[in-house]
Structure 1
Amino acid sequence: MAFFPKPAAGSWTENWPELGTGPVNYEDSIDPEQWKLEQQAIFRKTWLQMGRVELIPKKGRYITRELPSVGPGTSIIIVNDGEQIRAFYNLCRHRGNKLVWNDYPGEEVSGSCRQFVCKYHAWRYDLKGDLTFIQQEQEFFDVDKADYPLKPVRCEVWEGFIFVNFDDDAVSLEEYLGEFAEGLKGYPFHEMTEHYSYRSEIKANWKLFIDAFVEFYHAPILHMKQAEKEEAEKLAKFGFEALHYDIKGDHSMISSWGGMSPPKDLKMVKPIERILHSGLFGPWDRPDIKGILPDELPPAINPGRHSTWGQDSFEFFPNFTLLFWAPGWYLTYNYWPTGVDSHIFEADLYFVPPKNLRERLSQELAAVTFKEYAFQDANTLEATQSQIGTRAVLDFPLCDQEVLLRHLHHTAHNYVDRYKEAKANGNGSTNGNHAAPSEKAAEKDAANV
């Protein structure tokens, strides 16, 4: 398994000829019918990241997740039954009432319990989903409780991340995540339990926000005001180019310089950052744990082994971003579509728990600084959505630094195309998780030749 750069072919994009180099059509970000197809072909067929095991660390701990991206009203329960993490549809088998909720049925909740009890008629289920009690059972007609457990949802865990999949025929989580996930094993995720989170509704297609995070072409312009004057002028003059790109099947990654700690020139950062030893790239002082020094990192991180490496961003299709920073912390992003032109953006920041006030403030500064950058990106996305929605122009040229944008839209189209083909052939399974888009494209090209 190799995680080092491929031989140059004149550009990054030319390493993946199936993606092409021409303009990319963005109708997939404004067409309501395409969004409905994506919902069925992608979000009901792939592994979706729900959060960390630390959310439900003990027996009886549970969370609920509302997932309109999978289908209207879709809600699930994720629970620690004392032996494993399980997931179920959040509905009672009696008359379909929502099983777990508090004051407002549409809100996500968390808590601890010994069993789940329906608010409507008090049917009870244990933590494994088995029906254990029916109110006035004698009033029913030969009902067998064993026939009415909670309906399960496939649930698997990778490196402490909980995933679910609504397709019973999908490959295993580990096989789906593939080589990147294999190359990330061993990173000390379990040490980074100090957690900050943001959640916001964005008036833009889900793919547009991923587009913004898989290229740094925009950084010197959009984020110029966040840098000190001298640093901003330097970035504007020379631009910003990443160190490494890679694509493996449905998934991709981008590796970049920057993010090192402390900065070489303290005059280039703001006074508050000098005081707290922190900023956008996170706390400057590395935590005292194993697994984060350059020679300890798993092979998938900093694959080019660059001395100036600062961060890696892994895009696990369809909507999970895992971003590592050189100073020893990480971020996750999730993009949950609610319509063709809207989605919920979730960002979670994870640090090693602080040992003193200074460390805590340095983490809080990193979290606040991140939020400012995210707002800048989100604001631009809504402007983009409004203009491509006019359909005045739909084909847009992409540069070599935007190769992962090509891959994202290419992959999404492949899932939809396979789904439509399967439906036309009367086959309920798209085999979406069984072959990488790039492999299928290569097979198709070979057949055409």
Structure 2
Amino acid sequence: MARFPKPPEGSWTEHYPELGTDPVSYEDSISPEFYEKERRAIFKRAWLNVGRTEQVPRKGSYFTKELKVASTSIIVVRTTSGEVKAYHNICRHRGNKLVWNDMPLEETSGVCRQFTCKYHAWRYDLDGNLTFVQQEGEFFNLDKSRYGLVPVHCEVWEGFIFVNFAKEPEQSLREFLGPMITALEGYPFDKMTSRFYYRSEVKANWKLYMDAFQEFYHAPVLHANQSPTAYSKAAAEAGFEAPHYRIEGPHRLVSTSGVRAWEMADEMRKPIEDICQSGLFGPWDKPDLGEMPPGLNPAKCDPWGLDSFQLFPNFVILFWGQGWYLTYHYWPTSYNTHLFEGTVYFPQPRTPRERIAQELAAVSFKEYGLQDANTLEATQSMIESRVLDDFLLCDQEVLIRHLHKETAAWVEDYERKTAGV
């Protein structure tokens, strides 16, 4: 790992003077009251990614998503016309959860022609229309056309399914994403259908985990045990600085230069990496994915390591230079807990060896992610002591400043708009 020079015009933080350089408070990560404000001001107003279109590949395909932060469960379904729609997962009769299997609080998926309530067998078609009421004649002035499923605003961008719980979203999805994100259009997401998923319940505020993946200052230290001692010691002493940071609207980007794993010295690689020709950086055989979109690798690194796009509030798309990508989701469940989801995407393997190479990369990422989660639970326990009121951030942690400032700005904006309502 090598140090990279700061841009000639100054440090990264100085590019964004509105963020300041003062120590940062973590009160927003330990306050139950602030968490309740976040739920209303952010998670019920912003566009939230809940999955990809590959999860609903044909007519009648559906999945449910439990969203405790928004106090709801939703159904995402591909309708008869091929459109992707979302509904609150609630029957209009007595409020029972409409779609679930053996455990009401667990997510599920499948294919159906209609949704039938387990309680009294009311039925809804794929477009959410109420089509059948058991013993309909016993109801008073029932107009079935008025009692369809409650819709959720739903839009798709590059195969990513987003929902918005506002009565009327303040922006379209594309406006919300902005140019930095839409410049990724054309990446072959649809070719990345080999998928590995894991989740973890983390006893830390959701923003603390996002903070961990917005800087690489920690990498040579926290993840030292993942590398041979001589290499990790040298890396820790040298430090690491990413060559590019960018902030646009509520979203953030950090890019890093890379290494060609197969060119690393033998003592820097694990034996299993040589056997599988894969590791943290991914399979060594880079697929031919065609021309990449202009939004990738803005620092023009060669070799290029990764681009981590942090989409506000809780979604990350991380592109690896080796020709694959992964996503992170951080779903708050309380002021000091959240559900972390990691999903790794590769092109379909053509041989057993390629499959094993993908699995090794996915497992390596899971291991790194759980190391971060363990550290953050220790962080949460101590900042809740309130022994300290604020914390120092270095220049590499500029994106952390932005996330916490942006969170506060959304809360302040919401309170201003709803004052006296």
| Partner-residue secondary structure (3-state), 1:184 | coil
- Per mean C-alpha deviation after superposition, the further-off stretch among 339-348 and 307-316 is 307-316
Structure-2 change in CA distance of 1:361 and 1:7 (3 Å): closer
1:315 is matched with 310
| Partner-residue secondary structure (3-state), 1:62 | strand
Q: CA deviation at 1:328?
A: 0.5
Output aligned runs, 1:165-180, within 5 Å: 165-170=164-169, 171-180=171-180
Distance in 2, Cα, partners of 1:301 & 1:208: 26
TM-score normalised by length of structure 2: 0.96
Task: Read off the aligned partner of 1:106 and give its amino acid letter.
Answer: L
1:302 is matched with 297
Q: CA deviation at 1:243?
A: 1.1
Match of 2:406 among 399, 404, 411: 411
Distance in 1, Cα, partners of 2:39 & 2:141: 39
Native 8 Å contact 1:262 1:285 kept in 2: no
Q: CA deviation at 1:183?
A: 0.8
1:249 is matched with 249
Native 8 Å contact 1:62 1:79 kept in 2: yes
Distance in 2, Cα, partners of 1:186 & 1:326: 16
1:100 is matched with 99
Residue by residue, what CA displacement relative to the aligned partner does 1:88-116 show, whole Å, maximum 9, x if unpaired?
A: 00001111111001111111010110000
**1:239 and 2:234 correspond:** no
**1:113 and 2:108 correspond:** no
Aligned residues: CA RMSD: 1.4
Match of 1:81 among 76, 79, 87: 79
Q: CA deviation at 1:371?
A: 1.2
1:221 is matched with 221
| Partner-residue secondary structure (3-state), 2:69 | coil
Q: CA deviation at 1:119?
A: 0.9
Native 8 Å contact 2:23 2:391 kept in 1: yes
Q: CA deviation at 1:261?
A: 4.7
Q: CA deviation at 1:68?
A: 0.3
| Partner-residue secondary structure (3-state), 2:374 | helix
Distance in 2, Cα, partners of 1:370 & 1:257: 18
Q: CA deviation at 1:67?
A: 0.3
Distance in 2, Cα, partners of 1:424 & 1:7: 43
1:397 is matched with 392
Match of 1:368 among 363, 367, 375: 363
Native 8 Å contact 1:259 1:325 kept in 2: no
Structure 1 runs, 4 residues or longer, greater than 2 Å off = 5-9, 258-267
1:270 is matched with 270
Q: CA deviation at 1:7?
A: 6.6
Q: CA deviation at 1:151?
A: 0.3
Native 8 Å contact 1:261 1:285 kept in 2: no
1:159 is matched with 158
1:147 is matched with 146
Gaps of 5+ in 1: 427-449
| Partner-residue secondary structure (3-state), 1:69 | helix
**1:377 and 2:376 correspond:** no
2:37 is matched with 37
| Partner-residue secondary structure (3-state), 2:68 | coil
Output aligned runs, 1:11-26, within 5 Å: 11-26=11-26
Identity of aligned residues (%): 58
TM-score normalised by length of structure 1: 0.90
Distance in 1, Cα, partners of 2:195 & 2:259: 20
Task: Read off the aligned partner of 2:73 and give its amino acid letter.
Answer: S
Native 8 Å contact 2:91 2:97 kept in 1: yes
Gaps of 5+ in 2: none
Residue by residue, what CA displacement relative to the aligned partner does 1:391-449 show, whole Å, maximum 9, x if unpaired?
A: 000200100000000000000000111111122243xxxxxxxxxxxxxxxxxxxxxxx
| Partner-residue secondary structure (3-state), 1:398 | coil
- Per mean C-alpha deviation after superposition, the further-off stretch among 226-235 and 176-185 is 226-235
Native 8 Å contact 2:154 2:161 kept in 1: yes
1:354 is matched with 349
Distance in 2, Cα, partners of 1:281 & 1:67: 32
| Partner-residue secondary structure (3-state), 1:216 | coil
